[in-house]
Amino acid sequence: MPHRDDEHPLSPVLTHTESQLQSALDEVCEDVAIEHTATDDLIRIEETLVAASDAAKRAISLRQRIDTDNQELPPVS
């Protein structure tokens, strides 16, 4: 993974977003036998996957913004 500037103003937001994504993935990536999963649980899984998808999209946008900002800055001497 490319190094991202921890000093960038968006770094805390990115860290929080990545944490949300990891939590959502951890929640739904348990060892689940779908054929024995109740419909209510499948609905919860689907909602969690939507949240994970949204968090992934935000993380991608934030990473791209940070990377672009870092490319535009002159090197520190």
In this structure, what token pair is assigned to residue 37?
A: 């999963």
Above pLDDT 90, what percent of the chain?
A: 68
pLDDT for 5 beyond 80: no
Question: Domain residue spans in the chain?
Answer: 33-69
**27-48 confidence digits (pLDDT tens):** 888 777 889 999 999 999 999 9
CA dihedral 20→21→23→27, nearest 10 degrees, is 140
Among left, alpha and beta (phi > 0; psi -120 to 50; other), residue 30 is: beta
pTM: 0.79
